[in-house]
Structure 1
């Protein structure tokens, strides 16, 4: 059958239904296969045997596509290379491919060599090599797999996008490799993204090429539009997708201008704007003159004013009118004044009153200001109420009182709002005593005094003093005295007395003063006696307490037995543990490895397996998500490991040996083997599908979302799986969070047995390797030094897995090199507690990292302890001490070279909190000097709400303040 002719018919049918894709983002196109509408001149290798250029006229235009379909001609290696593409300003390019892939099962008789994927490559260059083409210069970008497969009579175009970066040379080539598929390349579009020129917050930002790194933003400085200003240069950040993000600062319109249509426009007549802002112009308030265009304020009309504190937005106001209807009431030498408020307050609410006083003793005499001994209550100035009392006036004197109404603008006007009243004092009464002073005191006497009224004593007046014990409210003693002081004897020691005084004159008694309290001194002898009693009691009590403590310690020592003490390690070990039977069979002991495959695995026919999409790449080939379907049974989602083309026989045996190992295990926390495909050129291993993928990647970014007891539950599942393996005398050798898979129920299962080996029958159960890779960060020191692996070395690795889990996927030993890690472990350094790690969990980690492997816990003990923690959640509340200077490995105040962090983004990245970069920048926190001044409330205001994230950032800031020099990670 002519497959070349067949693919032309199929692909032209699909091409007629091709729909153009619109792109909304601003893009600079470097290559557009579809828009070229002419001979592309791409280079195919091998020539005329692989990719073909096909053409057809669609709507009067010639359209071109490339296709290949050599599915029944054995192993294929067909390349299609583009022409030289100029890079221009791009450092990161996007490659959009539209293609169709035909179902391998749709070919008559099927094809064992058929593929449903192809590969994308690229090569950078400063020169155009023309037709000179060498595959070895190209680097692989990705394996491209379709989301939908084209079958007979049903075409399914696919669109895939890939990115390449960093690009540094003048240009580049793209290449497409076919390894045996039936593929039509409908269009290829290469472009880079740009942030378009824009006006944001009244700042002009030029067109900018999008950044290269998806984790960083390109900072762009803007310039203010006309009639706008800014205290700081406005900035925005251009991201990889060509979007403007994280605006910092803004421009604001000058006074007299308002914002409109991304510009600043002058205020209209009758409007004003007094400040630099983006607010609207305001209408001139009442009692102001009509303002011209672009005014900063509106002037007040005549006789209207603004107080210094009045905002320009308020109405202009006037002084008040005078108070009205003053009323007086004389009682002896006391005068009560009251009045009504003015009819016109001037439009203000800050009305107040001031009083002045003049005295006139005889007709024709010039009146003089009142004496200073005339008192006003509550005061003479700034009165808010319309009443006042005047004290200590003289008899037979005329007084004139001036009451002035004032408000906030009265001082700006020359007019005064004053009303006056004249009062004659014809009678008098003794002045009131307003204060008393304790002159001398003893345990039985008190001497008190009060101010003297010269006028009262001159008229032959005297005083009456009343006193009583404070506790006796009804029994007063009254004394008469001619002076302004008195000594009272025969009083009780240490007692409070209450005093009142009134003046008495020929006209009658005056008003009593308010009450004043004074105390006699305490009895010294009694006080001394009481102190002695207290001291003696304290001494006796102290001796009794010491005696009780001594008895308690003695009894406790007698009860303690040297055999009753139990160390921390004792909780993890049972010396009577029996070595389990050896059930595991090493497939490498079989002379013919195929016999192990037949014994421990199930053969599955390829027709029962459907590959859906590529989800990863393993050591031997690509990994697919797929469906396993047997007749009469439901479809089962599975993961499919494949063996890449061109494998050797040794690679095939090593690939299938992992299946021989997994096939011997049956435990809910060990990845389940569904079967293998071996009777086909392309061998496959079929395992259960784990929706959430590798544990380390799943945990990253979920800090605070998964609670501590859930993490402990995950660790319990991993430990259970490892207990099962250790019971079979099996050593994993590569236990790490990356080799733990998580399903949709958050169940954790041990996987990846590529480095695993069986224990030998020697007493220590060790296995000595002759080479190969060792994961240093997860490997016990004896395994690194001597290549000896035991279940105890797996326990060490489990301790590292615990640290990864409680640290939400943090990389063990951070960015230390393998050499630094080995040196640190040999110098007794151990990883510190992750943030918010329960103390009991961290103590178990420390036990797993004992230098002497015989002192490490065993997996049955680990499972038992984790079960106890899960049954008692309160045991997880005690948190281990956290040292951010070590845990975050900043060295928390410095970059990798010991210098201070250059930016907030760099600091946040170092503590794995880069998701808050935009929050800090939006809040105006743009420098590390601002960061170290922040408090907990400031961080919450930025938008950090999760308790774990809040603690991490606070601890880091504490370290930033404490650090004065570069810190060594070993300074525990």
Structure 2
């Protein structure tokens, strides 16, 4: 046999062999099914349609090198010679590869060969068992399936043989095995070697995940998706295990995710994790190395995720586990007190000698009133400046103390772990107040003016600090200096309001008045100056009076015109409101113009692409620039981008992407949602900007809603909105659903998570993945998941959805909005929800919910769907409530705990302050309560409203929610007799 090309040295050949073996291991795996060189005798079946003196298919050659050859042709006529292999077990193959070594003699080298050919055909026949014989299956196509016609690249003459190697693939394989067959139609051919195998992605461990051997897919374009298993002592990075794809060439490609070593374990390679040794730790999932325990901490066992603090040392909740453990500080040093003439005590101190290894040192002050050895807490009226708790400076002023009284002050030094240790470090100092002068008089005002007198009125000092003996009034013309002031004394009256008349004043003059009180201790501080002008003085010219009158007349005329315009617009506004879609942010939206327009189900189109083309606008991919990923959807990522259309202003949009490798069904569902949205045009329904289907990836472009989903937005802004604002949000949702209902459309998955909200608090209905058209008034599902907590009873029981079932879901959305994103039916199971609703149970009113809104919720939850309001009724009802805000002032009071009603909270079930805060969705304040020292529920029930800002709770809605819950705690713990009820 002739050879061509180049030669390799033995060393190079060995290197290349090893390299190719490694490459095959890492790239793909050939799983053998049949190899003719492994056979001592082939024993294949032959068939010849006509008899001839020419030779037939003949098996020749030594053992391990057996071949079949034929040289059968005719000077005329047709040849049909078949050669079939033995039955080949397909094993796990989806697609089979056939590698054939053969030689072919040139026809011109055969004397007298008129009908000679230089090709042959390859066929296969699938069957579950070895059941073929000489006569079955018939030697024809079909039943044999043709793979390809194979031609020789190199042909030989009578003296030199040339070997051709051809590889062909076929599939998908649907039976247990198959036969291969070769059809010769008149050639001089030898089948030298037959190798049959299939490609598979080899078993690998990569990125700490194990993937089993996986056969390649049934087609050349098929991808087989495989979910890996994290190796021992590792876990997925993210919510799910990593996913790889086995490609048709037998190579792996990563789609998403990977694994990493679990907390307490470090990576030794990319395929193994080992436990941290004692004295080490690793806190996070990842492949970083274990670290030695920080100072004052230890770990006694292997695989520690964090180190424990040694005795006497602690770690605050907000401290990273990588920080050393620390201790509480020692007491402040150098504590001293000074007392002013006005009985203001100023405390000074120095930092503790030992800060416990922390820098977050702060101080608090406790005041005690002492009589001999008996001390009691100071009155709540004592004032601390800048504050009593959380001091970072080393001094404080204490005022509003009693005169001639002995006080004891404790200065506590604390840091982030003081509350955890239970150790109190403080120093004490005593101080005795002197006589205190009265505080400033309050609310000075002028009640009457004449040419020579001014009558003044004021309130007594808030802290008289003794009996008021008299009031001193200091006054002078504003044009003069205070040194020229005159004084007048006024005797106090027995009422809280004091009056005095200052006489002998100049007419038409501006005066400044200041007042102070006097007790036996002396005068207090003057009040802030109050100005007044006596009547009379220089006459005004007639021309000036006339000019003033004319100006007043002009102003009155303008005022009348403005009032007329406002009333006209208001009257027009009321007309618009009767039919508009609405306006909760000052914006009037016109009613939908969808009369006569009906929703068309895209599934009625034989070709979904036609529905997309009809209902959705195709956008060039060059017009859209994706800027960042903002979330994930059912079919892929959701991104924020910029849409720049020709001759239009650029606008921010949201872009939904179809993930790579998505199935045909996913792509159709993805485009179905676009063809649904494209039919809607309403201010309260999410607007489709267009689609991109002519390039990859496929994109859906919709309007951008800055605040995202309504449920998450409400949870992040708990307590920040007024009732009117919440009702405005509900009205927007109802208007969108009214429009969809008029389009003969059922949503099926109406929930706060599927409502989007923009920066103007306009709500829009979105997510049409579960939506379908109504057929004869109802839609019956064909399977799939049902959102039980939002779905009407008849839809759950009979899987029939109507606009009335959407109304039920809208009532649940109302409850979500008024409870700021609370989960409907809390942590109940779906089975408990279904049973309770069937027995007549309905969700109770959320906290601070107006009775009118809860009644509307109950109307939407009528068992008989005929009795439920329509969306048009709901919009009209909400309009009446918005126009008459007084109807929303009747708030339903929270119900007391009832053991038979699982919707009322049992406050006594909580074992910690953290559990209690989580139950009322105030978990964000857990650290604040702990740092302020409120570690037990017995401490919490003593909290007053004015204590909450000190803890860090400044939002009025959050304060109200927490105080209402504290009141429930007091009631159930029997503490009402010791804690006053707060209003």
TM-score with structure 2 setting the length: 0.46
Which one has a bigger Cα radius of gyration?
Answer: 1
Query: Normalising by structure 1, what TM-score?
Result: 0.46
